[in-house]
């Protein structure tokens, strides 16, 4: 079986965390990632840019709409994900709009965070 | 040339060309903030060097290449200088030749950059309020304080919106480009909507002491002209026509003491003829295209008003017909309300009232002050004074603009006296 582990946190708390605490948490993440790589549990994982960078894509009557902000409805639940690579947000929106679920639900497009080389 | 004259020339250049230079620098440097710093540095360098060395043959190209140089300089001197930063610096250097060999300053490149800037600031993935703020700040060059004042919010709120939008452009990688043909009409609609919002806020302030904010309308018209110059699409032409025809009525819309005067009571000799003529020519151009859109239709309605000597001799039947077409293209309760007002002029207040009541009964526009003031006006004309009074009172409660409130209260006083 494969399982998707979704990590939820208060962005504001994360953003105002004192530097040593932030570094400690990062170290914990690196340690954890190494650990599950060794144990064979790791398939993939990434940190995301904050929700302020999110775009919600929907297709209704064959028209693509892209709006600012994360997906915020409570009527629908997370049903799957694709990790894609695209040159820029326009391309990412184009790809996301072809996901069948975009016609009935919503697809949140969020850039992956790239950490500076340690 | 004296130092004084050189400084004046630089001032003029800043007003006329700083947005063009910025648009190109954003493309070259790949970052809004870096480009703004570079723009500032380039003008500082001009103030410093030009009195001594003279004004270069192509000042704009000089400013672009100096800005780029200063940006690379800043990057190399920055505290967090590392391999990644060096890579950005090298990349920037690789795009343009050296300053001694100024880049070709082809008008096409510059125009493309300005369009890139407009389309990026109005990208649908940005928050709608941020699109307006960012466009006024980056494309029009308005200071944050002025943007805030225009929209009756605080400067920090506007500044925060702009910062968030710029961060999203950078972090989510919104590309700096003019959309492809296939995407153009949808994307242009978003841009035109931003221009339309700016104009509307200027033409009929949503709140506050004054009916209009002429500076905002002027910015919107400038943006509209720029778009028509760069991208003469029918709807861009239609929007410019619409703005010019509405703006032409400005001198007649308020009395000397700032009170609101409705269209039917306006002294039409005060309407600005040259703007009307330009608007009429543009309407014809927009309507001659195969794709007639909502802005061209609204401009056509404004054109019918502009061509009439007074309210009574207006071709109301044609206006109702244009509203019918507009409603088919863009169903909206507000357009229905405007159509009802035209029907009232054409067929009489009873027909208009039936339509307004139907809209309100549906539950649409129940909190829109103009729906209640339109209803009140029709009731008044039908001699149903007490019902008119109730409707006017409802409208007063809902309006947030001072002159509008005073206008409605004058009507209430008149009704109470009769």
The pLDDT tens digits of the residues spanning A48-69 come to: 988 989 999 999 998 999 999 8
The pLDDT value given to residue B391: 96
Q: Which residue has the higher pLDDT, B304 or A100?
A: B304
Distances in Å between the alpha carbon of B360 and those of A6, A8, B227, B408? 47, 44, 38, 19
Distances in Å between the alpha carbon of B229 and those of A113, B222, B283, B358? 40, 11, 16, 43
* Domain boundary, last residue among B105, B126, B149: B105
Residue B54 lies in a domain: yes
B164 and chain A in contact, CB less than 8 A: yes
Lowest mean pLDDT among B72-86, B216-230, B271-285, B309-323: B72-86
Q: Which residue has the higher pLDDT, B144 or B418?
A: B144
- Residue B238, C-beta contacts closer than 8 angstroms, at least 6 positions apart: B282, B283, B286, B292, B293, B294, B295, B296, B297, B298, B299
Interchain proximity B124–A69, CB inside 8 Å = no
Nearest to B127 among A49, A63, A68 (CB): A68
Nearest to A68 among B125, B175, B183 (CB): B125
Alpha-carbon Rg for chain B in angstroms = 25
Q: What percent of chain A has pLDDT over 70?
A: 97
Residue B16 lies in a domain: yes
Interchain proximity B173–A111, CB inside 8 Å = yes
B193 and chain A in contact, CB less than 8 A: no
Around Cβ B415, how many Cβ atoms within 10 Å?
A: 16
Interchain proximity A89–B174, CB inside 8 Å = yes
Distances in Å between the alpha carbon of A15 and those of A45, A97, B219? 21, 31, 37
Mean of pLDDT values over B37-43: 96
The pLDDT value given to residue B12: 93
The pLDDT value given to residue B45: 96
**B44-102, pLDDT tens digit by residue?**
999 999 999 999 999 999 999 999 999 999 988 876 667 777 888 888 887 765 444 44
Q: Read off the pLDDT band of A11 (50, 70, 90).
A: confident
Residue B389 lies in a domain: yes
Around Cβ B100, how many Cβ atoms within 10 Å?
A: 6
Interchain proximity B174–A66, CB inside 8 Å = no
Residue B79 lies in a domain: yes
Q: Read off the pLDDT band of A118 (50, 70, 90).
A: very low
Would the pTM of this model clear 0.90, i.e. be above it? no
**A111 interaction partners in chain B (CB closer than 8 Å):** 171-173
**B173 interaction partners in chain A (CB closer than 8 Å):** 87-89, 111
Residue B382 lies in a domain: yes
Give chain B's mean pLDDT: 90
* Domain boundary, last residue among B72, B105, B138: B105
Residue B362 lies in a domain: yes
**B353-402, pLDDT tens digit by residue?**
999 999 999 998 999 999 999 999 999 999 999 999 999 999 999 988 88
C-beta of residue B120 within 8 angstroms of C-beta of residue B169: yes
Give the separation between CA B276 and CA B251, rounded to whole angstroms.
13
Backbone angles phi, psi at A67, to 5 degrees: -125, 155
Interchain proximity A49–B175, CB inside 8 Å = no
- A111 to chain B, closest Cα gap in Å: 6
The pLDDT value given to residue B109: 65
Give the separation between CA B125 and CA B328, rounded to whole angstroms.
28
Q: Range of B397's domain?
A: 344-418
Residue B185 lies in a domain: no
Interchain proximity B175–A111, CB inside 8 Å = no
* Domain boundary, last residue among B105, B123, B157: B105
CATH of the domain at B378: 1.25.40
Q: What percent of chain B has pLDDT over 70?
A: 95
The pLDDT value given to residue B100: 42
Alpha-carbon Rg for chain A in angstroms = 16
Task: Return the closest-CA partner of residue B20 out of B132, B148, B107, B133.
Answer: B107
How many independent structural domains does chain B possess? 2
């Amino acid at each position: 079986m494969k399982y998707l582990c979704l990590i939820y946190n208060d962005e504001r708390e994360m953003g105002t965390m004192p530097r040593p605490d932030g570094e400690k948490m990062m170290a914990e993440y690196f340690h954890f990632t190494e650990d599950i790589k060794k144990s064979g549990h790791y398939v993939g994982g990434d940190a995301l840019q904050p929700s302020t960078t999110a775009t919600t894509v929907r297709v209704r009557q064959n028209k693509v709409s892209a709006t600012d902000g994360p997906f915020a409805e409570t009527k629908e639940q997370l049903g799957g994900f694709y990790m894609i690579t695209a040159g820029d947000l326009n391309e990412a929106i184009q790809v996301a709009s072809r996901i069948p679920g975009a016609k009935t639900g919503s697809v949140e497009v969020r850039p992956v965070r790239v950490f500076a080389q340690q | 040339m004296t130092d004084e004259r050189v400084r004046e020339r630089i001032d003029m250049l800043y007003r006329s060309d700083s947005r063009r230079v910025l648009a190109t620098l954003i493309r070259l440097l790949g970052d809004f903030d870096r480009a703004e710093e570079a723009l500032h540095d380039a003008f500082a360098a001009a103030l410093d060097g030009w009195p001594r060395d003279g004004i270069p043959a192509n000042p704009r190209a000089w400013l672009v290449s100096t800005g780029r140089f200063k940006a690379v300089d800043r990057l190399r001197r920055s505290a967090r200088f590392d391999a990644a930063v060096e890579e950005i610096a090298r990349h920037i250097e690789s795009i343009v030749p050296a300053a001694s060999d100024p880049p070709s300053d082809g008008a096409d490149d510059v125009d493309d950059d300005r369009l890139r800037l407009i389309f990026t600031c109005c990208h649908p993935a940005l928050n709608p309020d941020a699109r307006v703020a960012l466009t006024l700040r980056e494309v029009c060059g308005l200071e944050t304080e002025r943007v805030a004042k225009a929209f009756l919010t605080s400067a920090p709120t506007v500044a925060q919106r702009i910062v968030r939008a710029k961060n999203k452009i950078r972090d989510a990688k919104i590309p700096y480009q003019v959309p492809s043909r296939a995407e153009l009409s949808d994307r242009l609609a978003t841009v035109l909507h931003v221009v339309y919002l700016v104009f509307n806020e200027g033409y009929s302030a949503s709140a506050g002491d004054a009916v209009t904010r002429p500076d905002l309308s002027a910015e919107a018209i400038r943006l509209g002209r720029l778009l028509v110059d760069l991208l003469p699409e029918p709807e861009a032409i239609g929007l410019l026509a619409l703005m010019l025809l509405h703006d032409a009525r400005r001198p007649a819309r308020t009395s000397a003491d700032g009170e609101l005067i409705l269209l039917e009571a306006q002294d039409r000799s005060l309407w600005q003829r040259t703007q009307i003529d330009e608007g009429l020519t543009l309407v014809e151009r927009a309507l001659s295209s195969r794709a007639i859109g909502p802005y061209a239709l609204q401009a056509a309605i404004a054109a019918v008003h502009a061509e009439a000597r007074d309210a009574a001799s207006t071709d109301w039947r044609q206006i109702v017909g244009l509203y019918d077409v507009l409603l088919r293209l863009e169903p909206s309760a507000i357009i229905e309300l405007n159509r009802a007002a035209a029907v009232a002029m054409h067929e009489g207040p009873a027909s208009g009232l039936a339509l307004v009541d139907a809209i309100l009964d549906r539950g649409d526009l129940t909190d829109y002050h103009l729906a209640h003031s339109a209803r009140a006006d029709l009731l008044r004309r039908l001699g149903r004074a007490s019902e008119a009074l109730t409707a006017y009172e409802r409208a007063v409660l809902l309006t947030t603009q001072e002159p509008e409130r005073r206008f409605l209260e004058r009507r209430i006083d008149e009704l109470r006296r009769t």
